[in-house]
Amino acid sequence: MSKLTLNGRTVCFAEGETLLDIASRQGLEIPTLCHDPRLEPAGACRSCLVEVDGERLMTPACARVAQAGMVVMTENERIDRHRQTLMALYMTDHPHEREVSEVGSPDLLLDMAAEFDAPMDWGWMEPMRGDREDRNPYVDFNPDTCIACARCVRYCEEVEGVSAITLAGRGSHTTISTVEEKSLLDTTCELCGGCIDVCPTGAMNEKLPLMRGQKPERELVKVRSTCNFCGVGCQFDLNVDLEGRDGKGQIVKVTSPPPGTTTNDGNLCVKGRFAYDFVHHNDRLTQPLVRGEDGVLYPTTWEDALERAAEGLLGVVERHGADALGFVSSSRCTMEENFLVQKMARALFRANHVHQCAAT
């Protein structure tokens, strides 16, 4: 274990750790925008600069690998001044109003500017990043709030592994595009939505909530749950508008937990991130139904439906024995529900004919 001095205290670190890794472990907060623990450091946004003794220039904590004996400061006047200046510069072509910049996902740049009390009056240039039409159903890109930190591009390449999006243009025209400006639908994009999730300024957004005029993410309540599609069991946050559906709550979007805290490491696939519309779909069954003498299904009360169901199942057993009754349980349902179904088959009917679909 090597040692270095961090804000006056001696701390140990493992080989290969960055200054940011060490500082975070010590509970020190260093602002970051382009950093993501799943990605190779890029050192692009300059928000994480810290001071190393004996070096004239400040250095990005996210990219700088620690060396034994380093003396590092993460807080002092010079660093404060740098942060203020940096934010003030960002603010010269970044919308200042939340209503404009934060239509969906949060804009951390605005938070940071406020936190460091950055001057907002260093002039204004109309943002010049190019936009492109895209008929893809899920990912919206707003060039005006993009800071070209390339976190989305790097995520797409390094984690998703498909390199569907790229940086295009130069200088203040730099923007996020695709090869030949195609729609994401016609690229290698797998619609994982990771680019939305990693974007620090909300430039990448979910399209549907925007089109539907739903509340921005900050006004939603997050409920941590488990994806109901495949066997990976990704953890995600259902973002709920509590006032939606007449107070029954409406899922507006799905977001990832922070990387490193769940088995999916903050990643989701297209189904987990986007396929939640079925929850509130009009086709949902909302009433118990029983088949009438005429062969048609009629709505009825719970009491009646349960009565009929019980009678029917018991009737089968009476006529043909318990061996004639099969219980099909579901891998879509919870552990608890599966437990109850098998207990029902076994304890009530003394038979073991219980299984689920696709027992693979």
Partner 1 sequence: MAGLVETFGAGAMTNSIGEIRDADFLFVIGSNTSEAHPIIAMEMKRAVRKGATLVVADPRAIWMTSIAKKHLQLNPGTDVWLLNAMAHVIVAEDLINREFIENQTENFKQVKEAVASYTPEKAEQITGISADDIRWTARQYATTEKAGIYYTLGITEHAHGTDNVYALANLVLMTGHLGKPSTGMNPLRGQNNVQGANDAGATPMFFPGYQRVDDPEVRVKYEKSWGVPLSPVPGLNLNEMMKTVGEQMRGFFVMGEDIVLSEPNVLELEKGLNNVDFIVMQDAFMNETARFADVILPAAVFAEKEGTFTNSERRIQRVRKAVEPPGEALPDWEILVMLANKMGANWSYKDPAEVYAEMVKDVPQFAGISHEKLEKIDAGEEGIAGLQWPCPDADHPGTKFLHEDGILRGKGLFMPVHYIPPAELPDEDYGLFLSTGRTLYHYNAATQTRRESGLDAKQSEAFVELHPSDARKRGVHHGDMVEVTTRRGSVQLRAILSRQVRPGCIWMPLHFAEARANVLTNDVGDAVTGTAEYKVCAAEVRLVESMPDNEAFFPGSYYYEKGPGLHVDD
Kindly identify the residues of this chain, within the stretch 16-55, that bind ligand FES according to CB under 6 A. Answer: 32-35, 43-48
Interaction partner, residue 25 (partner 1, ligand FES, ligand SF4, none; CB < 5-8 Å by kind) = none
d(CA 237, CA 256): 6
| Shortest spacing between CB 187 and partner 1, in angstroms | 8
Q: Which does 47 bind (CB under 5 to 8 A by kind): partner 1, ligand SF4, ligand FES, none?
A: ligand FES
Tokens of 141: 């890109």
Residues between 184 and 243 that touch ligand SF4 (CB under 6 A): 184, 189-195, 227, 229-230, 232-234
Which of 90, 116, 155, 274 is the binder for ligand SF4 (CB under 6 A)? 155
Which candidate, 106, 126, 121, places its Cα nearest to that of 33? Answer: 106
Burial of 205 (0-12, 13-18, 19+ CB in 10 A): buried
Smallest separation (angstroms) from ligand FES to the CB of 284: 44
165's contact among ligand SF4, ligand FES, partner 1, none, with CB below 5 to 8 A by partner kind, is: ligand SF4
Beta-carbon count within 10 A of 13 CB = 22
Tokens 């057993």 belong to residue = 317
Count the residues of the shown chain that bind ligand FES, applying the rule CB under 6 A: 12
**Chain centroid, CA 349 distance in Å:** 45
Task: State whether residue 141 is helix, strand or coil.
Answer: strand
| 283 contact, one of ligand FES, partner 1, ligand SF4, none, CB 5-8 Å limit per kind | partner 1
156 binds, among partner 1, ligand SF4, ligand FES, none (CB under 5 to 8 A by kind): ligand SF4
| Residue 79 β-bridge partners | none
Instruction: With beta carbons less than 8 A apart as the criterion, state whether 280 and 250 touch.
Output: yes
268 binds ligand FES (CB under 6 A): no
**271 touching ligand SF4, by CB under 6 A:** yes
What does the alpha-carbon distance between residue 196 and residue 207 come to, in Å, rounded to a whole number?
A: 10
Stretch in the footprint of ligand SF4 (CB under 6 A) among 109-117, 269-277, 299-307, 345-353: 269-277
Contacting partner 1 (CB under 8 A), which of 99, 121, 277, 294?
277
User: Going by C-beta distance under 8 Å and a sequence separation of 6 or more, which residues neighbour residue 330?
Assistant: 337, 338, 356, 357
Task: Say if CB 227 and CB 263 are below 8 A apart.
Answer: no
338 alpha carbon, distance to own chain's centre: 29
Query: What does the per-residue mask of binding to partner 1 show for 176-205, with x meaning CB under 8 A?
Result: ---------xxxx-xxx-------------
**Alpha-carbon gap, residue 354 to 343, rounded angstroms:** 9
Q: Is 86 in the site for ligand SF4 (CB under 6 A)?
A: no
Token digits of residue 143: 């060039």
Chain Cα centroid distance, residue 41: 20
Residue closer to partner 1 (CB basis): 114 or 324:
324
Taking the C-alpha atoms of residue 357 and residue 323, their distance in angstroms, rounded to an integer, is: 19
Q: Using CB under 6 A as the criterion, which residues of the chain lie in contact with ligand SF4 when the complex forms? A: 139, 155-156, 160, 162, 164-165, 184, 189-195, 227, 229-230, 232-234, 264, 268-269, 271-272
Q: Using CB under 6 A as the criterion, which residues of the chain lie in contact with ligand FES when the complex forms? A: 32-35, 43-48, 60, 62
